[in-house]
Structure 1
Amino acid sequence: MRTAYISDIHGNIHAVESLERDLKDQGVERIICLGDILNFGANPKEVLEWVRENCHTVLRGEHDTFVSQCEDIFITNPEAIKMADWTYDQITDEDREYIASLPKDGEVEGFIITHDEPSVPGSMYFITSLKDAKDTFPCFSEQICFYGHTHIPLIFVKDKDSIKLIRDVSECRIEEGKQYLISVGSVGQPRDRDPRLSYIIHDEDKKKVLVRRVEYDYEKAAKEILNKGLPTLFAAAITKKL
């Protein structure tokens, strides 16, 4: 079984189009979406429809919660709030009900999945450092936790009492006796100064994860944000011109 773990699409349909082609090329059999489908991008409705039609399991991220207004959440960035208000108007009541029905975490084949972190799903805590990983590993007993939210592909490996961070690799073997915290990166808005979309493939038969980086027309995605009169911040974010 080859399972794709995707996250943080953020309304970017141009990235999704390239993602879909790569999923087919890679022989992916199942897609798990770890949330933040909406906000920041110019095509929220199209992206939400793609996720509903193609993903086996879908989680709700904090921006999905904020846009749909399905529960109280604290976000202070005025540009994100402005974008969320616009995004709210692009989706239907049925869409908002669907988003409200999504969980914040779960399990797939005995592995933990969450949008942000496994101890308190929905906390919006970022796991990006060795200290973060050290604090998080005791919160789950399963071998692997796949998560999103960071917008950066990261692999933390716990072997007995040691923890190491692996980044900038194309694949990592899953070994018995070790635990893994795997940040799957972002489809719609990577934040590691590499504009290519990122996601993870877990090849369960070969016991390895593949870190995929895929080109897409991010200039076109940025132009559409600007053409719709949306905050320039989010066009700059995907073209790395911040």
Structure 2
Amino acid sequence: MAILSDIHGNLAALEAVLEHIDASGAEHALCLGDVIGYGPDPEACARLLMERNMDTVMGNHDQVLLGYQFLSWFNPQARDMLLKTRSMLTDEAIDWLTSRPHSMVRHGARFVHGCPPDSVRTYIYKRDVDLDAVFSSYEEQWCFVGHTHELGLYVQRDGAVFREPLKDGFTLGPGQRVIVNAGAVGQPRDGDPRAKYLLWEPETGHVRVQRVEYDIARTVARLRERGFPAVYGKRLG
């Protein structure tokens, strides 16, 4: 199963990742939200997921489409960007994005954009001081999150929770529970500009990190063409 997150309107990155997923032989894929925001092609990205009927949970950028009250969580530049993004979307795409659930359970695992059990906006690292409470808030052994744009891993074992790096992959040990951060397809913030996604094998308890090259210059040119702030291109590496 492929797990991707934080596409952020980056069509070049999404197309490269979907091609990689298809070549991997993964039978299913799931998106952890933030299909839109920051990137120049929100409609095309939403359309690709819709055409694939991909399981998708709501991200905090997607949530803004529900009403202007959700804009208050963003800085002024991001608010302007999200209003611009909304104007680029068809009613059909908006209806699809705003109907995504805050969380879902598939193959015995929980999937949520921000923090379990179902927070769209909370960053998992902001709950570092009470991770026991986070793990107690849901029952699944596996949980996958996005939102931070960085790969990461929280492991609960022997009555304690440990934060560990997620470099190439991870295999779940007996009696363990984990929260896995899937990184980002469209705007990684881990110092590696390649698009990231995960391949998860529920049967073996193994997660592999996938890093995919894509045409960053194409996205930067598209951002410039559509009048987005230059900073969003610089963030791509």
TM over 0.5: yes
User: In the alignment, what sits opposite 2:236?
Assistant: 238
Give distance in 1, aligned partners of 2:166 and 2:109: 23
Q: Is the 8 A contact 1:32 1:55 kept in 2?
A: no
The aligned runs of 1:8-27 (5 Å cut-off) are 8-27=6-25
| CA positional deviation for 1:185 | 0.7
The answer as to 2:179 corresponding to 1:181 is yes
TM-score scaled by structure 1? Answer: 0.91
The aligned runs of 1:98-113 (5 Å cut-off) are 98-113=96-111
SS in structure 1 at match of 2:19: helix
Of 204-213 and 189-198, deviating more is 204-213
Q: Is the 8 A contact 2:4 2:197 kept in 1?
A: yes
**Structure 1 gap ranges (5+):** none
SS in structure 1 at match of 2:220: helix
TM-score scaled by structure 2? Answer: 0.92
User: In the alignment, what sits opposite 1:78?
Assistant: 76
| CA positional deviation for 1:160 | 1.8
Of 165-174 and 126-135, deviating more is 126-135
Alignment partner for residue 216 of structure 1, among 205, 214, 217?
Answer: 214
| CA positional deviation for 1:15 | 0.2
Give distance in 2, aligned partners of 1:25 and 1:178: 31
Alignment partner for residue 126 of structure 1, among 123, 127, 131?
Answer: 123
Residues 52-73 of structure 1: CA distance to partner in whole angstroms, max 9, x if unpaired?
A: 122531111110111x234731
| CA positional deviation for 1:132 | 5.8
Task: Give the paired residue count.
Answer: 235
Q: Is the 8 A contact 1:70 1:96 kept in 2?
A: no
Residues 95-137 of structure 1: CA distance to partner in whole angstroms, max 9, x if unpaired?
A: 2122221111111122111110114523x11113753644422
User: In the alignment, what sits opposite 1:88?
Assistant: 86
Alignment partner for residue 193 of structure 1, among 172, 186, 191?
Answer: 191
Q: Is the 8 A contact 2:103 2:118 kept in 1?
A: no
Residues 58-91 of structure 1: CA distance to partner in whole angstroms, max 9, x if unpaired?
A: 111110111x234731323122111111111111
Residues 182-236 of structure 1: CA distance to partner in whole angstroms, max 9, x if unpaired?
A: 1111100011111111111111233201111111111221221112221112111
SS in structure 2 at match of 1:72: helix
Q: Is the 8 A contact 1:36 1:64 kept in 2?
A: yes
User: In the alignment, what sits opposite 2:58?
Assistant: 60
**Alpha-carbon RMSD:** 1.7
The answer as to 2:66 corresponding to 1:69 is yes
User: In the alignment, what sits opposite 2:2?
Assistant: 4
Give distance in 2, aligned partners of 1:161 and 1:44: 43
SS in structure 2 at match of 1:84: helix
**Structure 2 gap ranges (5+):** none
